């Protein structure tokens, strides 16, 4: 049998629990598209330097975030989700006789910040890691049952000439942005902004295969193919060469960055916001 003290403690805990549930207030995350949204904050710089004036906050900081996008007709990913393990996903190499392409964009925001100087001016600054890869091939026939190069050439006898090219670049970006309201009237508001970037090239590579072909050579015992013509070239950034496995990571990274190329770039943008011209009835509770 419970004592009066235990019963009192139980009732007290229930009372405080109900009190917390009644007074607890939370707001769910607002999900909006980044481009053109007033919720984008400093991330609006990627879309338009002038857009950082749209936020109603005095400042915002983005410590770490990333986004990636790929478009390709060569591979199809199945059951891939960001909220589950990538190991649960599957992929399929698309077969058929057609041209292949792939575009891969990657952007990691390391430290980004935006500060509103006043209602008409704002600044933003930060560091980003960006990468872009592009690949394209001529038309060729492929199937996932191909076991060797001879079977591949046999399937592509109707494609006597084939070519392919690939380009890839990765760089570190330091940026600073200034945006200002140029004009603010009853009908709309005009913003303008400029971003100055210091770009540090981390790695680059390219490869190209032009006018490659094969000639069928038939004998009594087997069918073979002889490669003919074609030109293949490739290249990569020189800062990759000094990396030595017998050296420490810090020493290799120091040589890696010291041999990297540096460049500058400028982004500029304007935007015109149209204000709502509807006459509100302030005595209507729905408004």
- 10 pLDDT exceeds 80? no
Q: What is the mean pLDDT of residues 224-233?
A: 84
pLDDT digits (tens, 9 = 90+) for 129-164: 999 999 999 999 988 888 888 888 888 888 888 899
pLDDT tens for 36-53 read 677 788 888 988 999 999
Whether residue 95 has pLDDT greater than 80? yes
pLDDT above 90: residue 261: no
Contacts 24+ apart (CB under 8 A), 56-64: 57/116, 58/115, 58/116, 59/113, 59/114, 59/115, 59/116, 60/113, 60/114, 61/111, 61/112, 61/113, 61/114, 62/109, 62/111, 62/112, 62/113, 62/126, 63/111, 64/108, 64/109, 64/110, 64/111
pTM (global) more than 0.85: no
pLDDT in tens, 176-186: 999 999 999 88
């Amino acid at each position: 049998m419970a004592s009066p003290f235990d019963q009192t403690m139980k009732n007290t805990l229930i009372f405080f629990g109900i009190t917390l549930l009644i007074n607890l207030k939370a707001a769910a995350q607002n999900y909006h598209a980044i481009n053109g949204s007033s919720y984008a904050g400093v991330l609006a710089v990627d879309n338009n330097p002038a857009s950082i004036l749209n936020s109603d906050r005095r400042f915002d900081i983005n410590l770490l975030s990333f986004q990636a996008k790929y478009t390709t007709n060569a591979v199809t990913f199945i059951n891939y989700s960001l909220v589950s393990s990538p190991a649960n996903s599957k992929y399929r190499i698309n077969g058929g006789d057609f041209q292949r392409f792939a575009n891969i964009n990657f952007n990691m925001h390391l430290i980004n910040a935006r500060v509103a100087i006043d209602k008409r001016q704002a600044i933003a600054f930060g560091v980003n890691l960006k990468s872009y890869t592009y690949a394209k091939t001529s038309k060729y026939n492929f199937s996932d049952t191909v076991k060797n190069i001879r079977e591949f050439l046999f399937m592509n006898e109707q494609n006597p000439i084939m070519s392919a090219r690939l380009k890839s670049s990765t760089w570190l970006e330091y940026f600073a942005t200034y945006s200002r309201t140029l004009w603010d009237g009853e009908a709309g508001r005009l913003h303008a902004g400029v971003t100055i970037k210091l770009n540090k090239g981390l790695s680059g590579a390219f490869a190209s295969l032009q006018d490659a072909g094969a000639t069928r050579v038939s004998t009594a015992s087997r069918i073979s193919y002889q490669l003919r013509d074609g030109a293949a070239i490739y290249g990569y950034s020189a800062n990759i060469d000094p990396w030595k496995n017998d050296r420490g990571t810090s020493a290799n990274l120091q040589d890696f960055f010291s041999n990297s190329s540096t460049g500058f770039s400028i982004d500029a943008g304007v935007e015109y916001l149209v204000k709502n011209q509807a006459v509100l009835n302030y005595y209507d509770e729905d408004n």
